[in-house]
Structure 1
Amino acid sequence: MSQLTSSIAIINKSAPYGSSNGQESLDMAMAMSNFAQDVSVFFIEDGVLQLLLSQDPAAIDAKAYHKTFKALEFYDIENIYVCRQSLEQRGIKSTQLCIEVTLIEHDDLSSLLASQQHVMSF
């Protein structure tokens, strides 16, 4: 009996702190990967802030979950997309991110999401 694989897009739009969206999306991505799902992770709008290398969440008594993004490769999650315009609007360079990503144009987002069977937004 073979397993059916679904493609799932997880969109991160939220800033890293102030809500649990970022941590929950990361947990969801790893959990779905464990169930043989083809997971793609997208960071747009304030979601790009989750990937900043220089974060000090201890200053606000929060967990540094951004360090866990490096584990995505162990879960075979290789499709990690970041909106170039979202980075530029926030004055962030790709070298300031905690993991390697694929930069995409905002205009390409729709076509990439259309190729997914399921889309979840956080």
Structure 2
Amino acid sequence: MKSIAFVFTTSPHTTAAGREALDAVLATSAYSENLSLFFIGDGVSQLLKHQQPQSILSRDYISAFRLLDLYEIEDLFVCDASLNDFGFSADDLFLDAQLLSGTEIAQKLAACDVVLRF
């Protein structure tokens, strides 16, 4: 079975990319068990605690990330350099994710058969 990587690179609520990526992940999980999610650059902010999208009249799709456990999607990787660039740490994330260096992320992405970037 092909391994599929979903790469989150945009901030939440600025465009529909994050919501569309999450929808694609959940839909794809019905057909494939070999999914990995990567949060790089602005994408690390998708997993930050205490977001208040209603204050900007945006839909709260972030809470749907908690469904990943139900769908048995466990390979979550966050770029540690991106977190540091924004002044965040793993404690600021609402999901457990493995922190990786840019080199480690590149190696994991190279091992995937399909890479989808949002």
TM-score (norm 1): 0.93
State percent identity of aligned pairs.
Answer: 34
Name the structure 2 match of 1:31: 27
Give the number of aligned pairs: 118
SS of 1:30's equivalent?
Answer: helix
Alignment of 1:27-106 (within 5 A): 27-106=23-102
**Alignment partner, residue 108 of structure 1:** 104
User: Where does residue 113 of structure 2 map in the other structure?
Assistant: 117
User: CA offset at residue 42 of structure 1?
Assistant: 0.2
- Higher CA-based Rg: 1
Q: 1:53, 1:36 → 2: CA distance?
A: 28
RMSD of the alignment, in Å? 0.8
**Structure 1 residue runs of 4 or more that deviate by more than 4 Å after TM superposition:** none
**SS of 2:24 mapped into structure 1:** helix
Question: Deviations 1:1-35 (Å, cap 9, x if unpaired)?
Answer: xxxx2110000000001200000111111111111
**Amino acid in structure 1 at the alignment position of 2:19:** Q
The Cα offsets for residues 60-98 of structure 1, whole Å up to 9 and x where unpaired, read as 100111111111011111100000000000011111111
Corresponding residue number in structure 1 for 2:5? 9
Q: Does 1:19 align with 2:26?
A: no
What do the CA deviations read for 1:42-71 (whole angstroms, capped 9, x no partner)? 000000011111101001100111111111
Q: Name the amino acid aligned to 2:14.
A: G
Question: Which stretch has the larger CA shift, 44-53 or 31-40?
Answer: 31-40
How far 1:37 sits from its partner (Å)? 3.9
- Stretches of structure 1 lacking an aligned partner (at least 5 in a row): none
